[in-house]
Structure formats: structure tokens, C-alpha cells
């Protein structure tokens, strides 16, 4: 049993803390947000993540997991401290490291014994060395420590599974003993462990996310061409995916990627390259294609209605989060799309299974309705933004009957075009032509 402290109990920190506790360690989660910690002590999860509450409850009851706002308490006997605070985008696209710096300072001021400091947050290449400098500078007396990079690869909505069954664990440190100790923590996961230097580990994280974002923008570009030529991008992706060199994952065309990682990580990587005088063309194209998806969505609604102005039109949004099984609204395409529709004159209403409260703060003029059926009533157009499973099972006949016009734009390709036509919808997906037929 190892003693671990996790600083930051957000999407990444809380999963990390709960999963390490479940592996039999004694874990204390620290956050500067008192309300969050108070909630966690009383079993209230600050985020929606499938399976998280059960995992936290189980490990708190077993005495392996606790929470605090006090660095002194958290570091009392910890051997490892994971830094998992947020690293949002700064003004120029660079990662804002102020929270990482604050955490490193507090760790330095409160550490009471030898410590391995592990960076989980996604930080620019070189940050590990910088953190080591901050810690050394702020210690009251010199206590030995090491900094190891261990980037997270947790998808929201599937984060517990991703933690427990990782494709790989990346560890960056030139201190072999420290890297070995962190590797030991991960041994029960039975995954390949790559040990490299700090900067290379930090780069692996950026390169991985940028590559996945590139796959998404690639298939979205192919979707556009499919629309022009009358081919079906879902079949194209399936056909491509059987080639193991390509792989089937992250080839779903749609309204583009959002969330707390891809947008900021691609931007931050481009920024790092530019600071060195490079022009990272591919990364810029990836971002541009992704931004265009949001405009494409608004334009498609106009095309379906054969109108440029949406005055007097009501559009209903099915789903608001950037992906299913999360309540996270960060960088969700739905936000820009709703704003774009409103700017064109439309009245926008929405339904999301989990995130309506949060979304209402970002979209004050969008009316949130408690069921998809109430939401669809009187709409001219419905649009799918998020592939929530419950949307696959809707009574679409009932929905069609209460709509003003039977127009449906499926931004995530969750429905079958033939079936939708048979139900009497004028349906458009993304990149879904068929044998030369082009759906306009
Ligand atoms: C994480 C990573 O850290 C980020 O680098 C990665 O790219 C995406 O995921 P995330 O867990 O999503 O961030 O962040 P968030 O949900 O905002 O949680 C961060 C937590 O850290 C918050 O609860 C915040 O209160 C806490 N925090 C912040 C501290 O405890 N101390 C600080 O100094 C700042
Ligand atoms: C991502 C990384 O996958 C994960 O390893 C970690 O680094 C955190 O960031 P996350 O943002 O939670 O995870 O979700 P992910 O499943 O990667 O999806 C990101 C976005 O891409 C979503 O908006 C999703 O809808 C979109 N996406 C994904 C597509 O548009 N098409 C796809 O084929 C896959």
C-alpha cells in the first residue's frame, strides 16, 4: 500500500485518486475548492462520470480514499503527489500554467519528507523541469524530490475503464529510481510502460491528442467530399478502419471535436512550434477544419429550410455536451452552433440528459425542456449534437407528428437515412450520400 496525494479533484484528478485507491493504495484528494471537497466528503460528485460515485463510495468506506483542502494534511505521509489541476488555454493558445505553478509552490512549502511529484496535467514541453525549479525555490529547507511526467489518456465518459485498462503508461524522468517507483504503482494495470525523459513524455501526450484530432478533421474533410460526390462517409470510415494501419477509431464524421483537451492541446502544440519559428501547417488545418464544422452545421439548417434568414424558425437541439456520458460543456460545438442559429434569427430550444443546468448559464436565451418530446414540439428543425444513447431509442414517429416541419439534421450520424425517410423525415446526416445520390 502506497500513500498518494492527488492535487486537483476535477475530471482527471478525481478519477486518478479513486482508481489508485481501488488498486489498494491510501489516497488523499486535495482541492482548493472548499465546496467541492465538502461535497466529496458527503458523497456528492462534482462531475458526472459513469461508475464514479460507486467507486468513490466504495473506497471511502474502505478507508482508502479521503479528501481535504489542507496541503499539510495531504502531504503528511505521502510518498507520491500527482498534480492534476487544470491547464486552460491562455490568450494566445498557450497553456495557462498558473494553477500548476500554484500547486508546485504549495507542495514545496508543505512537503514533510522525500516526495515524487508527478505531473498528470497536460503541460507544455519543458514544464517538468520548470516545476522542479519552482519546488526547489520554494522549499523552506532542502528535502529531496523528483519530478516525473505521467500524462493522462482518460476519455470523459469512459475514464474509469481507460484508467484501469490503459493502452500504455508513459513515464518521463531521468531519475530512474523515481520512474521505477511510479512504474510500480501502475504494475497492477498490466499495460506496457514506456519510460523516457521528461520532455519526450510531455510531447507524447501532445502528439497523441493532436493525432487523434487530425483523424477527426481528416474524416470530416472526407465527409465534405463524400457529400459532393455522393458517397457515404460512415461506410468509407468502416471500410478504411479494417486496415490495421489506419484503425477504425476516431473516424466518426460529425460536427467536430470539442471538450477540455483536443481544442486546447492542438492549439498549445501549434503555439509551441510557432514560438520556435515554425509554421505548423497540418495543425492549423486540423483546427480550421474543426472550426468550419460549426459553421457547416448552421449552414445546413439554412439549406434544409432553403432560407438564409432563420427569423420565425424554431430549431431544437438534441444534446448539448461535446460527447455523450459527460456533463462537460467545455468547448462543446453545440454552444457555437446555438449562437450561430440565434444570430441568423432562429429561436433555439434544447434538451440534454445531463448538462442542461450548466448549459443554461452559457446559453441564457436557449429554452431548456425536460424531455426530448416536449423539446421537439413545434420545431421546424431538429438537430442532433451529441450521440447520447437515449436518442437512438426515441419514438421518432411521435416526434415527427408534433413538429411543425419534419426536418432533422443528424450532426453525429446516429440514425439510418433510409429509416428516417420511411418515417417521413426530411433527413440529412454528415457526409451521407449513396451511390451518387446527393442529399441537399
Ligand atoms: C485535466 C488536466 O489537468 C488538464 O491538463 C488536462 O488537459 C485536462 O484534464 P481537468 O481535470 O479537466 O484537467 O480540470 P478541472 O476539472 O478544471 O479540475 C481541476 C481542479 O483543480 C479543480 O477542481 C480546481 O479547483 C483544482 N485546483 C486548481 C486546485 O486544487 N489547485 C489549484 O491551484 C488550481
Ligand atoms: C480526449 C482523449 O481521447 C483522452 O485520451 C485524453 O487525453 C483527454 O482528451 P475526451 O476529450 O474526453 O478525451 O474525449 P474523446 O472521446 O477523445 O472525444 C473528443 C471529441 O472528439 C468529442 O467532441 C467527440 O465527439 C469528438 N470525436 C471523437 C469525433 O468527432 N469523432 C470521433 O471519431 C471521435
Q: How many residues in the chain?
A: 440
For residue 76, is it within any domain?
Answer: yes
Query: For residue 399, which of 429, 369, 357, 436 has the smallest C-alpha distance?
Result: 369
Angle (deg, nearest 10), helices 11-22 and 52-61: 50
Residue 261 confidence (pLDDT): 95
CA 160/CA 156 separation, integer angstroms = 9
- The reply to whether 43 and 94 lie within a common domain is yes
Contact 368, 326 (CB under 8 A): no
Contacts of 385 by beta carbon, 8 Å cutoff, 6+ apart: 255, 317, 318, 319, 320, 332, 333, 334, 337, 411, 412
Q: Are residues 173 and 56 in the same domain?
A: yes
Ligand 1 centroid–CA 182 distance in Å is 21
Residue nearest ligand 2's atom 26 by CA: 257
Q: Which residues line ligand 2 (CB under 6 A)?
A: 153-156, 209, 212, 216, 250-252, 254, 257-259, 261-262, 322-323
Residue 65 has which C-alpha cell?
Answer: 480514499
Q: Report which protein residue has its CA nearest ligand 2's atom 5.
A: 153
Find the mean pLDDT for residues 337-363. 98
pLDDT (average), residues 12-40: 98
Rounded to whole angstroms, the Cα distance separating 89 from 266 reads 10
Q: What confidence category does residue 89 fall into, taking pLDDT thresholds of 50, 70 and 90? A: confident
- Residues 216, 185, single domain; the answer is no
Give me the residues paired with residue 83 across strands.
7, 119
Q: Are 225 and 192 in contact (CB under 8 A)?
A: no
Residues 226 and 172 placed together within one structural domain of the fold: no
Q: Is a pLDDT exceeding 70 seen at residue 439?
A: no
Minimal CA–CA distance to 430: which of 411, 407, 416, 417? 411
- In which region does residue 140 sit, left (phi positive, over 0), alpha (psi from -120 to 50) or beta (all else)? alpha
The tens digit of pLDDT for each residue in 180-202 reads: 999 999 999 999 999 999 999 99
Once rounded to an integer, what is the mean pLDDT over residues 279-301? Answer: 98
Strand order in the sheet with 407-410: 367-368, 347-351, 314-318, 381-384, 407-410, 426-428
246 part of a folded domain: yes
Same domain for 53 and 182? yes
Q: Decide if 385 contacts 411 (C-beta within 8 A).
A: yes
The pLDDT of residue 98: 96
Give the number of the atom of ligand 2 that is nearest the alpha carbon of residue 250: 33
Confirm whether 439 is domain-assigned: no
Q: What predicted TM-score, i.e. pTM, was given to this entire model?
A: 0.96
Which has the higher per-residue pLDDT, 92 or 50?
50
Place of cell 460526390: 229
Laid out side by side, the sheet with 3-7 consists of 65-68, 26-30, 3-7, 80-83, 115-119, 145-149, 169-172, 193-196
> Residue 92's pLDDT band (boundaries 50, 70, 90)?
confident
CATH number for 407:
3.40.50.720
Crossing angle of helices 127-138 and 98-110, in 10° steps, is: 40
Q: In this model, does residue 435 exceed pLDDT 60?
A: yes
Report which protein residue has its CA nearest ligand 1's atom 32: 99
Does 226 participate in catalysis according to the annotation? no
Across the chain, mean pLDDT equals: 96
| The dihedral sign for the CA sequence 114, 202, 171, 328 | positive
Q: What's the domain count of the chain?
A: 2
* Confidence band for 93, pLDDT divided at 50, 70 and 90: confident
Atom of ligand 2 nearest to the CA of 216: 31
Q: How confident is the model at residue 434 (pLDDT cuts 50, 70, 90)?
A: confident
Distance 227 CA to ligand 1 centre (A): 40
Same domain, 146 and 293: no
Catalytic residue among 5, 19, 150, 261: 261
Q: Give me the pLDDT at residue 192, please.
A: 98
Task: Please say if the pLDDT value at position 440 is more than 60.
Answer: no
Closest to 138 in 3D by CA, of 108, 118, 117: 108
Residues within a 6 A CB radius of ligand 1: 7-13, 31-33, 36, 84-87, 99, 102-103, 121-122, 260-261
194: helix, coil or strand?
A: strand
**276, three cell numbers:** 520556435
The answer to whether residues 69 and 175 belong to one domain is yes
Is 434 within a domain? no
Q: What is the mean pLDDT of residues 220-238?
A: 97
In a domain, 435, yes or no: no
Provide the domain limits for residue 263.
212-428
Q: Which ligand is nearest to the CA of 241?
A: 2
Taking Cα atoms as reference points, which of 110, 100, 39 lies closest to residue 70?
A: 110
Domain boundary among 145, 164, 196: 196
> Cell 425517410 appears where?
421
pLDDT recorded at residue 380: 98
- Grid cell, residue 232, equals 457515404
Please report the pLDDT score of residue 218 as a whole number: 98
User: Which atom number of ligand 2 is nearest to the Cα of residue 323?
Assistant: 25
Measured distance CA(124)–CA(140) in Å, rounded:
27
Q: Name the residue of 157, 257, 336, 355 to mutate for ligand 2: max ligand atoms within 8 A of Cβ.
A: 257
Amino acid at each position: 500500500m502506497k500513500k498518494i496525494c492527488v492535487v486537483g479533484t476535477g475530471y482527471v484528478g478525481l478519477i486518478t485518486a479513486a482508481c489508485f485507491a481501488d488498486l489498494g493504495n491510501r489516497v488523499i484528494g486535495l482541492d482548493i475548492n472548499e465546496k467541492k471537497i465538502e461535497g466529496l466528503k458527503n458523497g456528492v460528485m462534482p462531475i458526472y462520470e459513469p461508475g464514479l460515485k460507486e467507486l468513490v463510495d466504495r473506497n471511502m468506506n474502505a478507508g482508502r480514499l479521503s479528501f481535504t483542502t489542507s496541503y499539510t494534511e495531504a502531504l503528511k505521509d505521502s510518498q507520491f503527489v500527482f498534480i492534476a489541476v487544470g491547464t486552460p488555454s491562455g490568450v494566445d493558445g498557450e497553456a495557462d500554467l498558473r494553477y500548476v505553478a500554484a500547486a508546485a509552490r504549495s507542495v514545496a512549502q508543505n512537503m514533510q519528507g522525500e516526495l515524487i511529484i508527478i505531473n498528470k496535467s497536460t503541460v507544455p514541453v519543458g514544464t517538468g523541469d520548470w516545476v522542479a525549479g519552482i519546488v526547489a525555490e520554494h522549499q523552506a529547507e532542502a528535502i529531496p524530490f523528483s519530478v516525473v511526467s505521467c500524462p493522462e489518456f482518460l476519455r470523459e465518459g469512459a475514464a474509469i475503464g481507460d484508467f484501469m485498462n490503459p493502452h500504455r503508461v508513459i513515464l518521463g524522468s531521468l531519475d530512474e529510481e523515481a520512474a521505477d517507483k511510479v512504474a510500480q504503482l501502475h504494475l497492477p494495470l498490466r499495460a506496457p510502460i514506456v519510460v523516457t525523459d521528461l520532455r519526450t513524455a510531455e510531447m507524447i501526450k501532445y502528439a497523441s491528442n493532436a493525432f487523434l484530432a487530425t483523424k477527426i478533421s481528416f474524416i470530416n474533410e472526407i465527409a465534405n467530399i463524400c457529400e459532393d460526390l455522393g458517397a457515404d462517409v460512415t461506410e468509407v470510415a468502416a471500410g478504411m478502419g479494417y486496415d490495421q494501419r489506419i484503425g477504425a477509431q476516431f473516424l466518426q464524421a460529425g460536427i467536430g471535436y470539442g471538450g477540455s483537451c483536443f481544442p486546447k492541446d492542438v492549439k498549445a502544440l501549434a503555439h509551441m512550434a510557432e514560438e520556435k519559428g515554425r509554421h505548423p501547417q497540418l495543425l492549423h488545418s486540423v483546427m480550421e477544419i474543426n472550426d468550419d464544422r460549426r459553421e457547416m452545421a448552421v449552414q445546413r439548417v439554412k439549406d434544409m429550410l432553403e432560407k438564409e434568414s432563420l427569423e420565425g424558425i424554431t430549431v431544437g437541439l438534441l444534446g448539448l455536451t461535446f460527447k455523450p456520458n459527460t456533463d462537460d460543456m467545455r468547448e462543446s460545438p453545440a454552444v457555437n452552433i446555438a449562437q450561430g442559429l440565434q444570430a441568423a434569427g432562429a429561436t433555439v430550444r434544447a434538451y440534454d440528459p445531463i448538462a442542461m443546468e450548466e448549459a443554461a448559464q452559457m446559453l441564457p436565451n436557449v429554452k431548456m425542456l425536460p424531455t426530448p418530446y416536449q423539446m421537439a414540439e413545434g420545431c421546424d428543425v431538429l438537430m442532433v449534437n451529441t450521440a447520447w444513447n437515449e436518442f437512438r431509442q426515441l419514438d421518432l414517429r411521435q416526434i415527427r407528428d408534433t413538429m411543425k416541419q419534419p426536418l432533422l439534421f443528424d450532426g453525429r450520424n446516429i440514425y439510418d437515412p433510409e429509416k428516417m425517410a420511411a418515417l417521413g423525415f426530411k433527413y440529412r446526416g454528415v457526409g451521407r450520400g449513396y451511390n451518387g445520390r446527393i442529399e441537399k
